[in-house]
């Protein structure tokens, strides 16, 4: 790891990256944003843009229930509850009892209300308020290892799920004829998103996770003509927004998550007219 820091000093001789915490934050951005971008392309294709928002809001409930059950590791609580919440949303959505946006809104509201109810007992919510906005500057060396593992695993799962999931969304009958089990593919996808969202919550925040997942994918869709271009552009846009937001936040002494999301939003609005020109 020290060798990596020395290499960064040689390649990035800039003031913000003189500090170890900024180096860790940069490495976290380089590991986290591509993963969220790739999953975002699948969420946009599946018209599940607000699904991650419901998961993000449920993070508070996951932490609260973990605290009540005596689970000391917040990440474990987040991931277990996130997977459970994702499967519940998907299961009820597939039942057709209500529209997808209604179901997601119900789960989003329930998750955040349950979390606030538990965590605010005795006026203790202040100690958990950092989950709302995240703090990527607190990333440690150990966290970077887990993010690397998550990125590699996420890419493998994305490659395995992308075509079956896209085929199920575009032509369910054709997917069925080719032996694609749409239900289990969707369950695998929502679990993958749940794990990625819950891993990122601590550094991105409940209020911003959905934007960081969806904005790069939406901007890439404006600019791309093929699925490969969509994935590539989403990753590039996410990386640019992540690094730019990190530097901007350092220079202006503001929140990193908000700066990254605003950079992604700027790129999205630029992609609208540029995309129209490209497609003409």
What whole-number distance in Å separates Cα of residue 34 and Cα of residue 40? 10
- Is residue 90, in this structure, part of any structural domain at all? yes
- Is residue 226, in this structure, part of any structural domain at all? no
Write out the DSSP string of 164-222. Answer: HHHHHHH-HHHHHHTT--HHHHHHHHHHHHHHHHHHHHHHH-TTTHHHHHHHHHHHHHH
Of 46, 69, 68, 43, the C-alpha closest to 214 is 43
Range 188-200 average pLDDT: 87
Q: Write out the residue range of the structural domain in which residue 91 sits.
A: 24-208
What whole-number distance in Å separates Cα of residue 186 and Cα of residue 194? 12
End-to-end CA distance of the chain: 48
- Is residue 123, in this structure, part of any structural domain at all? yes
The domain total for the chain is 1
Write out the DSSP string of 24-67. Answer: HHHHHHHHHHHHHHHHHHHHHHTT-TTHHHHHHHHHHHHHHHHH
- Is residue 249, in this structure, part of any structural domain at all? no
Of 67, 71, 72, 103, the C-alpha closest to 86 is 103
pLDDT at residue 56 tops 90: no
For 32-44, how does the pLDDT look when each residue is reduced to its tens digit (9 = 90+)?
889 888 888 888 8
- Is residue 251, in this structure, part of any structural domain at all? no
For 142-167, how does the pLDDT look when each residue is reduced to its tens digit (9 = 90+)?
888 888 888 898 889 888 888 888 77
For 103-146, how does the pLDDT look when each residue is reduced to its tens digit (9 = 90+)?
888 888 888 888 888 888 766 666 666 777 777 888 888 888 88
What pLDDT shows up at residue 9? 66
- Is residue 124, in this structure, part of any structural domain at all? yes
What whole-number distance in Å separates Cα of residue 131 and Cα of residue 197? 12
pLDDT at residue 250 tops 70: yes
Q: CA-based angle 87:92:93, to the nearest 5?
A: 95
pTM: 0.84
- Is residue 246, in this structure, part of any structural domain at all? no
- Is residue 129, in this structure, part of any structural domain at all? yes
- The CATH number given to whatever domain includes residue 46 is 1.10.3470.10
Looking at per-residue pLDDT, the higher value among 119 and 271 belongs to 271
């Amino acid at each position: 790891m020290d060798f990596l820091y020395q290499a960064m000093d040689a390649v990035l001789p800039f003031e913000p990256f003189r500090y170890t915490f900024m180096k860790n934050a940069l490495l976290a951005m380089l590991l986290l944003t591509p993963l969220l971008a790739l999953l975002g392309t699948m969420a946009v294709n599946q018209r599940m843009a607000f699904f991650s928002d419901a998961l993000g809001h449920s993070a508070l409930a996951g932490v609260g229930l973990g605290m009540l059950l005596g689970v000391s590791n917040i990440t474990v609580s987040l991931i277990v509850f996130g997977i459970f919440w994702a499967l519940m949303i998907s299961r009820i959505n597939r039942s057709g009892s209500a529209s997808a946006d209604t179901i997601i809104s119900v789960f989003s509201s329930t998750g955040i209300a349950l979390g606030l109810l538990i965590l605010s007992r005795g006026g203790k919510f202040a100690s958990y308020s950092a989950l709302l906005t995240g703090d990527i500057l607190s990333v440690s060396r150990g966290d970077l290892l887990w993010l690397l593992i998550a990125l590699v695993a996420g890419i493998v799962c994305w490659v395995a799920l992308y075509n079956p999931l896209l085929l199920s969304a575009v032509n369910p009958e054709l997917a069925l004829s080719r032996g694609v089990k749409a239900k289990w593919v969707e369950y695998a996808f929502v679990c993958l998103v749940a794990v990625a969202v819950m891993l990122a919550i601590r550094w991105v925040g409940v209020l911003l996770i959905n934007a960081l997942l969806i904005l790069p994918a939406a901007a890439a869709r404006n600019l791309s003509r093929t699925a490969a271009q969509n994935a590539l552009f989403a990753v590039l846009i996410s990386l640019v927004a992540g690094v730019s937001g990190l530097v901007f936040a350092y220079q202006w002494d503001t929140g990193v998550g908000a700066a990254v999301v605003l950079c992604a939003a700027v790129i999205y609005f630029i992609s609208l007219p540029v995309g129209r020109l490209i497609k003409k």
